[in-house]
Chains A and B, each alone.
Chain A
Amino acid sequence: MMSSSIRATLRRVTPQLIILAAVLFLNFLVFPDFFRVEFQNGRLFGNLIDVLNRGAPTALLCIGMTLVIATKGIDLSVGAVMAIAGAVAASLVVDGYSWQTALLGALAVGMLCGIWNGILVAVLRIQPIVATLVLMVAGRGIAQLVTEGTILTFVNPGLVHLGSGTVVGIPTPILIWVFLGLAVAAIVRKTALGMLIEAIGINEGSSRMAGINSRVLITSVYLISGFCAALAGVIVAADIKGADANNAGLWLELDAILAVVIGGNSLLGGRFSILASLIGALIIQSVNSVILLSGMPPEFNLVIKALIIIAILVIQSPTVKHALYIIRASAQPLPSEPVKEAKESTQ
């Protein structure tokens, strides 16, 4: 029983793993020492560790974003929520509170933002893109209001530890996102939450008719998204020992959405895999790493990124997958076709 579900999960993330391997190999090509990891100053040190470490904000964001997207929503405000959370955490420790208080305060504010989005979407029935656009625009202002427009720096070692510290040599952010990712994935799959969220994303009308409390569930996925964003915001602030309200998490919502899609999740909601999204986040970070390591002039950054992403998406697109399948199947006698037609009866 157990092993079969593990096998199913593995099958689900195989394409993402292959792509990740390919992009990592690209890293290796531009920088042969890429895979070297050493133990230095009591911490693991190496490009691979950087990918895991720098991927933390996107990875954290995409945990919540996956759930939001599964309900057919989208959360554009996560970048701004990161800024708010960072600002709140920084201002709390600057005011002399302990790092625990600061962390809790930031998370609480993040969840509050999530609830706000959730209410707009689930109760007021505003379309998710627009509903979260409001906070995306205003949120950064709120963050700056907290920091009064400055980069609020702090020295609190506890808080700093969250961003640049290590636990048994492993950078804390890595531990945080891996732990949170596994925890959320487990909660969602070990309870019925995952199925109910998917049901809402596929057909909210039917789900409500079946007695699912879609309002509460939708609000809670935005809440989770706000929580993840807040955690990411605290990490980013802790990393540079300062809350940069204007730049923290800027445009990171797009990376998070991209990660979710590269993870093979449909933007139209429904079936989702958090694990695959996390791998998607690592893929994006590896692409960034290629760009940095290649030493190309920065003018080319975006073009390179765009081309790699397009390549990844094309390989992943249903049509290409289908074509590959046909090629493979034509070698065998009886074609049992994948569900291409499936598309036609959706909507």
Chain B
Amino acid sequence: TIGFSQIGSESGWRAAETTVTKQEAEKRGINLKFADAQQKQENQIKALRSFIAQGVDAILIAPVVATGWDEVLEEAKESEIPVILLDRTVDASDDLYMTAVTSDLVHEGRVAGKWLVDEMAGAKCDIVELQGTTGSSPAIDRKNGFEEGIAGSDNLKIVRSQTGDFTRSQGKVVMESFLKAVGGENICALYAHNDDMAVGAIQAIKEAGLKPGEDIKIVSIDSVPDIHLAMLEGEANATVELTPNMAGPAFDALDAYFSNGVVPPKWIQTESKLYTLKDDNKHIYETKRYLGY
């Protein structure tokens, strides 16, 4: 029995992660106890404690925030239940968990930034940024990563940055106001912290009579099916993949640990792959379509 404490289902990506985790568990014949925390840390802590009280064999957790896990992780450790972190890490001493299967959020931002630097090849470019939910770690890290990525290229400048709450509709609303406040013709590129906001923004750009992908370059993160669809139409330019399959490597590590006592490395990093218009977006779309995004 393995307990899985998921943050919630706030985005398509998160839903896909849940689906994939359940699929992977089923594939391996693992009895998965799933607990949805409705985006609340306190619920995750409660779930962890309940898992411990039930005496599960191992715990997977996608922590909603980096801090605040020491106490409960210690309890898990005392009860000798290995804990694996999925897709985000925590601010705790690393002997409290077995391993973390994550991508590097800062790195993702950096990849996106680098892509834009290459794409512009020195041309002047004013960028608008759609941030994730204020205060959430992906928003902070992806912002910092992107800024690192474009650091040193003086031709690139972020002129506006506002939160779009990781949602399509806010992405659209905020983009609309960018288009007016800055002027559509003055915006050369959009960087969105996730694909959903980019999808919303694309619609706003079209409604303003501009061509997304040409008039305004669009780069975002996650690689959800819909952005590939947009790329297929040439309406988005690049996306950095965050794979929803974090559970696969985690289960592998647990398997190895339980059967052979192999202690995995502390960090199993997933790939942050960049997709651009050059890739076979149709194929990617078809394969991702049914993953529950």
Contacts and interface: CB of A to CB of B under 8 A. Distances in A.
Given A40-B209, A240-B200, A246-B9, A150 B181 contact: no
B177 A289 contact: yes
Interface in A277-306: 289, 292-293, 295, 297-299, 301
Contacts of A295: 160, 162, 181
Contact of A239 (B165, B166, B169): B169
Q: A47, A164, A244: which has the most chain B beta carbons within 10 Å?
A: A244
A150 B167 contact: no
Given A151-B293, A295-B181, 7 more contacts: A144-B9, A150-B292, A153-B226, A164-B203, A244-B196, A247-B165, A292-B162
Given A244-B167, A247-B10, A298 B226 contact: no
27 contacts: A41-B208, A43-B207, A45-B208, A50-B177, A50-B180, A148-B292, A150-B15, A150-B293, A151-B12, A151-B168, A164-B203, A239-B172, A240-B168, A240-B169, A241-B203, A244-B169, A244-B196, A246-B8, A246-B9, A247-B167, A292-B174, A293-B180, A293-B181, A295-B181, A298-B134, A298-B161, A301-B163
A21 B107 CA distance: 46
B159 to A, nearest CB: 9
Contacts of B72: none
Contact of B162 (A45, A148, A298): A298
Interface residues of B, number: 37
Is chain B's binding surface mostly helix, strand, loop or mixed? helix
B173 A54 contact: yes
Nearest to A50: B176
Nearest to A296: B162
Contact of B15 (A54, A149, A153): A149
A47 B168 contact: no
Nearest to B181: A293
B199 interface: yes
B18 interface: yes
B131 interface: yes
Contacts of A41: 207-209
A257 interface: no
B18 to A, nearest CB: 7
A46 interface: yes
Interface of A: 31, 33, 40-41, 43, 45-47, 50, 54, 144, 148-151, 153, 164, 236, 239-242, 244, 246-248, 289, 292-293, 295, 297-299, 301
Interface in B129-147: 131, 134
Contacts of B181: 31, 292-293, 295
B31 interface: no
B171 to A, nearest CB: 8
Contact of B196 (A46, A144, A151, A301): A151
Interface in B244-267: none
Closest 10 CB pairs of A and B: A149-B15, A292-B177, A298-B163, A247-B167, A240-B168, A41-B209, A298-B134, A151-B12, A240-B169, A149-B9
Given A47-B180, A301-B134, A151 B160 contact: no
Contacts of B11: 246
B6 to A, nearest CB: 11
Given A40-B209, A45-B208, A239-B172, A150 B165 contact: no
A43 B208 CA distance: 9
A149 B18 contact: yes
A150 B225 CA distance: 11
A299 B173 CA distance: 18
A45 B205 CA distance: 12
Interface string B1-28: 0000000111110010011000000000
A298 B140 CA distance: 12
A208 B181 CA distance: 55
Given A240-B168, A244-B167, A293 B177 contact: yes
Contacts of B170: 247
A297 B143 CA distance: 13
Contacts of B15: 149-150
Contacts of A292: 162, 173-174, 177, 181
